[in-house]
């Protein structure tokens, strides 16, 4: 085992299926005990990358190592160090939970003297021991089936766990329970977590990797990614007063400032306004002092809006599309690959 280095190393990874490039020149590392979020539109190459790391399919070129071990040269050894939970976990409907986990333990080569205790441990961790131990898997809810899948993934005490959409189809209470379970692995196991629920990635993960069209477009902590991709500051302001005279006042603070009402006035006459400055700048105190000097305005609340991981995701994928456009301009006959629609929020009308 690579005791001092990262648990996951990927360098210049490529994967082609015929003439189609599913993964193109991806490079990243994930340290021991970290939880990494893996994001990208449908068809971006997330599942392909995870399958390469797990030794399920070979890469076309490039290097992938798990705990310092080459996936291409030693796939069986790598599989012993990885717990994998696919998106649609194929569980047998006719086996009881404890029977299934014991069966899986034998396949994972867990010694017989240790297997019984290990099965009891993972059932306790995944809240299966009391509620679902003797239940037939086919009778379990979606949430408990996901718990069985996670118990299977951690059964052999792997160094790395790969989870593809572990909370898909779960209700909010089940999502929170699975999220807490994944969080308990932090510091002990390296986790790759792929999810379409951006808030889940933001809460759970130490670092984030975003890929689009098979290419890596962003990597880093959520804080660092905000700095890289978000270049404006947004405030929510609740204000009572004449909006017609507000524009020159606000623009006296910053000439490029824009604003718009985000709702009609409430029963007390307060508007909710969105204020945007096209740079990272703290002007909240200036806005408050300015409005306080004008008696015709009353401020009920003002706060800066923290950009979400969804904002970062949209900015990163949009930039990657824009960067690919010059190639299309050079060869206008080139067929553009199908792109998944990326929803961009429609900006509110700005007052003139």
The residue extents of the domains of the chain are: 8-81+158-227, 231-304
Confidence of residue 351 (pLDDT cuts 50, 70, 90): very low
Position 350 scores a pLDDT of: 37
Q: Average pLDDT for residues 274-279, to the nearest whole number?
A: 87
Can you tell me the distance from the alpha carbon of 165 to that of 97, in angstroms, rounded to the nearest whole number?
A: 21
Of residues 346 and 23, more confidently modeled: 23
Closest CA to 342 of 196, 207, 220, 234: 196
End-to-end Cα, the chain, rounded Å: 64
Can you tell me the distance from the alpha carbon of 168 to that of 184, in angstroms, rounded to the nearest whole number?
A: 19
CATH 3.30.70.260 fits 231-304, yes or no: yes
Confidence of residue 352 (pLDDT cuts 50, 70, 90): very low
Of residues 298 and 196, more confidently modeled: 298
Q: How many CB atoms are located within 10 Å of the residue 94 CB?
A: 9
Token pair 């790395």: residue: 160
Helix (H, G, I), strand (E, B) or coil at 300: strand
Q: What is the reported pTM?
A: 0.73
Confidence of residue 2 (pLDDT cuts 50, 70, 90): low
Position 212 scores a pLDDT of: 87
Can you tell me the distance from the alpha carbon of 151 to that of 83, in angstroms, rounded to the nearest whole number?
A: 10
Confidence of residue 262 (pLDDT cuts 50, 70, 90): confident
Evaluate if residue 331 carries a pLDDT over 50: no
Q: Average pLDDT for residues 92-99, to the nearest whole number?
A: 94
Is residue 274 within 8 Å of residue 167, measured between CB atoms? no
pLDDT digits (tens, 9 = 90+) for 197-255: 787 788 888 999 999 888 998 898 888 888 888 888 899 999 999 898 899 999 999 88
Can you tell me the distance from the alpha carbon of 91 to that of 94, in angstroms, rounded to the nearest whole number?
A: 9
Beta-carbon-side half-sphere exposure of residue 264 (alpha carbons within 13 Å): 1
Beta-carbon-side half-sphere exposure of residue 333 (alpha carbons within 13 Å): 0
How much is the CA Rg of the chain, to the nearest whole Å? 25
What CATH superfamily is the domain 8-81+158-227?
Answer: P-loop containing nucleotide triphosphate hydrolases (3.40.50.300)
Evaluate if residue 20 carries a pLDDT over 80: yes
Of residues 201 and 32, more confidently modeled: 32
Closest CA to 47 of 218, 207, 194: 194
Closest CA to 313 of 288, 281, 336, 345: 345
Evaluate if residue 188 carries a pLDDT over 50: yes
Is residue 164 within 8 Å of residue 156, measured between CB atoms? no
Sheet containing 215-220: which strands, arranged edge to edge?
A: 82-85, 160-164, 190-194, 35-39, 207-212, 215-220
Evaluate if residue 258 carries a pLDDT over 70: yes
């Amino acid at each position: 085992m690579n005791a001092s280095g990262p648990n996951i190393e990927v360098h210049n990874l490529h994967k082609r299926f015929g003439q189609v490039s599913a993964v193109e020149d991806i490079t990243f590392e994930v340290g021991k005990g970290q939880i990494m979020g893996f994001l990208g539109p449908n068809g971006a190459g997330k599942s392909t990358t995870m399958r390469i790391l797990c030794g399920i399919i070979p890469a076309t070129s490039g290097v992938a190592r798990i705990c310092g071990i080459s996936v291409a040269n030693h796939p069986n050894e790598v599989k012993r160090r990885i717990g994998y939970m696919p998106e649609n976990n194929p569980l047998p409907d006719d086996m009881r939970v404890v029977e299934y986990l014991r069966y899986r333990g034998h396949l994972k080569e867990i010694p017989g003297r240790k297997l019984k205790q290990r099965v009891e441990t993972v059932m306790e961790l995944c809240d299966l021991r009391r509620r679902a131990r003797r239940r037939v898997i086919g009778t379990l809810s979606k949430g408990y089936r996901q718990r069985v899948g996670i118990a299977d993934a951690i059964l052999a005490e792997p160094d790395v766990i790969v989870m593809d959409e572990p909370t898909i189809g779960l209700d909010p209470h089940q999502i929170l329970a699975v999220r807490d379970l994944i969080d308990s692995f932090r510091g002990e196991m390296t986790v790759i977590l792929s999810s379409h629920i951006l808030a889940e990635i933001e809460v759970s993960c130490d670092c984030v990797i975003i890929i689009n069209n098979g290419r890596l477009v962003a990597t880093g902590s959520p804080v660092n990614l905000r700095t890289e991709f978000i270049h404006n500051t947004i405030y929510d302001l609740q204000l009572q007063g004449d909006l017609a005279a507000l524009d020159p006042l606000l623009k006296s603070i910053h000439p490029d400032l824009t604003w718009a009402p985000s709702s009609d006035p409430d029963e007390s006459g307060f508007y909710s306004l969105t204020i945007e400055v096209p740079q990272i700048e703290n002007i909240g105190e200036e806005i408050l002092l300015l409005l306080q000097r004008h008696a015709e305005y009353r401020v009920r609340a003002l706060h800066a809006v923290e950009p979400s991981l969804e904002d970062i995701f949209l900015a990163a994928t949009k930039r990657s599309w824009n960067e690919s456009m010059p190639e299309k301009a050079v060869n206008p006959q080139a067929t553009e690959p199908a792109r998944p629609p990326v929803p961009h929020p429609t900006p509110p009308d700005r007052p003139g």
